[in-house]
Amino acid sequence: MRHELDLATDATLNYQDHIYTIMRSDKEGLRYYKYTDKELMDLYKPIFSAKKNPSKKLYDLAQINFLEKRKINNELDENLPEMMLDKKNVLKVKTKSGEKQFELPSANGKKVYLALQEINKENMLIQIRMYKKLKNGSLEGRQIYYLFLKRDFSKHEVVKEEELNASIESGKLKEYLSVFPKVTEDGSYHKLFDKYIFEKKANKVRKIKDTDILSKDGKYVYINGAKEKENFVISDGIQRIQTVDNYLKGNEKYEAQFKIDFKQIAKEMDFNAGDARIANVQYFNENYVVLFISYHGKMIGTAGSLNVLIDLQKNKKQPTAYLVDLGISR
């Protein structure tokens, strides 16, 4: 639900004692928010009592400004940094332990956006997005930099987005690796950006195949979850999910393995349907998979669409599937 209500797209800086601390950065600037699991559950509880049209109820919930009253107004009290840009695009970072200024690379005459990607007891990772400003006011030519920074300001490194993986492999960023979430408890793997994983022992950045999907937490891979992405239809039949560890080792150990039958699903929904025209993985983790399927009509047009919610908690080989239209299709 965090993902669907557009809360997980923000950087989650901390989750402890059932409390989320997140960062949102856009044209309005950088803001921090805090909310609890209970507050989130109270928000989406009405969807379970919706007797009909649950997709409309979910849509309505997504329009609520849930974060409006949960803004953190004093960052320093929450041990979060204040970040400010002056007119010359000089960045000032302030924490409880002090403050420091950074002259951003090639920032003159450009529009700059800041985002705090990660923070822990030792390090911070700040994303710097720069755009060239055109005479008509529009922006083009995005360039991204990453500022790796010690909390005590003793050291820092600035790296271009396209040089990030090579910089990690070179050891240049060894002191800052803790800003990237651990994929495994022993720290053998760290989740980087997009579909990249850093394998610590081999000192190598590994990429998840374009045909596969990496879970949001970076811990699991849905095999062939994007196999037919060019026509928006994944293959039905046997579905497989692996841990990142097993995936990168290239073995055939699966965390979950189950079957999906598009024709049987259409029959259960009483659709007068032909083949699936869209079928893709909207979200998945260790315990759940959410699919969106839309069908061609037998002769013309479309026959209907739905979400398939697959609960893997009790049995990862014969899970329980729920067929319902929640309107989850992005």
Return the pLDDT at 141.
83
Return the pLDDT at 106.
79
Return the pLDDT at 229.
59
DSSP 260-310: E-HHHHHHHTT--EEEEEEEEEEEE-SSEEEEEEEEEESSSSEEEEEEEEE
Task: Give pLDDT tens digits for 170-225.
Answer: 999 999 999 999 999 899 999 999 999 999 999 999 999 999 999 999 999 999 99
Task: Give pLDDT tens digits for 120-154.
Answer: 999 999 999 998 888 777 888 889 999 999 999 99
Residue 56: C-alpha distances to residues 3, 53, 59, 60 (Å): 17, 6, 5, 6
User: Which two tokens mark 257?
Assistant: 């393995």
Return the pLDDT at 228.
62
Task: Give pLDDT tens digits for 232-260.
Answer: 899 999 999 999 999 999 999 999 999 99
What share of the chain has pLDDT > 90, as a percent?
77
